[in-house]
Amino acid sequence: MSVVDKRDRARFGTLLERRDDRDFPFYDGQPVEVAAWKWIVIILGCFAAFAVFVSIPADNNVSSLLPRALFPAIMLAVFVLLTGRHWSAIFKKLTGSDWLNMVVFGLLTIVISFVVGAILRAIFGASANTAADGLAAGGPVEIGAFLVGTAMQLFGEELFTILPFLAIMYLLHAHAGLGRKSAMVIAWLITALYFGAAHLPTYDWNVAQALIGIGVARLVLTLAYMRTKNIAVSTGAHIINDWIGFGVVVATSTALIR
């Protein structure tokens, strides 16, 4: 490998990237070259999955299971179709360090989201996420469906972010000539904004709350993937973050009911 190649593949410090043999798949043709047109189709698959997810009506968490299951299923199907047996490169066998990172980044997201949210509420106001409203009164079936459904949805949200992240990183590195670090940082920032924009309807089109509040939380969650190169870690961190938040809402509602 030439000096230029080594420089282009240089890693960030250990706070951002672990010193192990894992690397992002596909951006440099490993384990296989995925053509630019395929990445464009994969991104369009993410958009299609999101459109299906938000278009299917659901009155409760049981009926929400279908759109929540279709959301990741559509993206994963397109990704598998276009990458073949190499689709599993976004997953790694979970190690002790991975489990630790899952917990650390899940809790870190909660702390950072709380701080950023408090600042945004003071300046711009804020709209509440009503996903867990009424859950405490729904009974075990509704709560169980909520947990299963949100786990599938949050895995879908990771695919919705990480697949475009890998696509942008590949396009910038392989076709725009950017080094690995530059391509990674730009992909990180773009997908955070894109993820935040997808939450605009959830927060009543509060641009600051969606783009800044959700965008910053997304930066932390994507960092869990960047550090471990394992989408299972960022998914676990996302579930920890959301379930703790929803758990607080349910516990508070239960206390008020009593």
Digit-coded pLDDT (tens) for 17-74: 888 889 999 999 999 999 999 999 999 999 999 999 999 999 889 999 999 999 999 9
10: in domain: no
5: in domain: no
DSSP state of 26: S
Q: How much of the chain exceeds pLDDT 90, in percent?
A: 74
102: in domain: yes
Q: Is the pLDDT at 6 greater than 80, yes or no?
A: no
Question: What pLDDT is recorded for position 131?
Answer: 65
8: in domain: no
Question: What pLDDT is recorded for position 13?
Answer: 76
**What per-residue string of b and e applies to 16-34 under the rule 16 or more CB within 10 Å gives b?**
ebbeeeeebbbbbeeeeeb
Report the number of distinct structural domains present in the chain: 1
245: in domain: yes
Question: What pLDDT is recorded for position 242?
Answer: 92
108 confidence band (pLDDT: 50, 70, 90): very high
What angle, rounded to 10 degrees, do the helices at 231-257 and 215-228 form? Answer: 140
112: in domain: yes
139 confidence band (pLDDT: 50, 70, 90): confident
- Full residue range of the structural domain in which residue 252 is found: 24-257
105 and 223 Cβ atoms separated by less than 8 Å: yes
Q: Which residues lie below 8 Å from residue 177, measured CB to CB, with a gap of 6+?
A: none
Q: Is the pLDDT at 159 greater than 50, yes or no?
A: yes
145: in domain: yes
